[in-house]
Amino acid sequence: MSTETLSIRLDEEVKRRLENIATITRRSRSFLAAEAITRYVDQEIQQLAEIEAGLTELDSGQGIPGEKARRQLREHSQRQSRRKPK
């Protein structure tokens, strides 16, 4: 995998915390930043795909009316609150 350089600006506190993690983990700041950005990008891509799938379902008529969804969520929440903790 080839890599490219990316310059970013960080708040001083974030930079200090990143340096602290780098010291503790014995990893470079660049490695940690690249890992964090990769995770963020992967998460955003997944979330956007799920949103797009949901919109496609709605466009095809597979959704449920808002009031019905709210009622189902209320009922589910009530059932959960009545469950006894283990």
Output the pLDDT for position 82: 84
Q: Looking up tokens 């919109």, which residue turns up?
A: 55
Over residues 24-31, the mean pLDDT reads: 97
Output the pLDDT for position 86: 61
User: Furthest-apart CA pair in the chain: how many Å?
Assistant: 54
pLDDT single digits (tens) 32-83: 999 999 999 999 999 999 999 999 999 999 988 889 999 999 999 998 888 7
Tokens (6 digits) for 28: 């470079």
Output the pLDDT for position 12: 98
Tokens (6 digits) for 16: 């200090």
| Gap between the Cα atoms of 37 and 71, Å rounded | 39
Residue 62 DSSP code = -
Output the pLDDT for position 81: 87
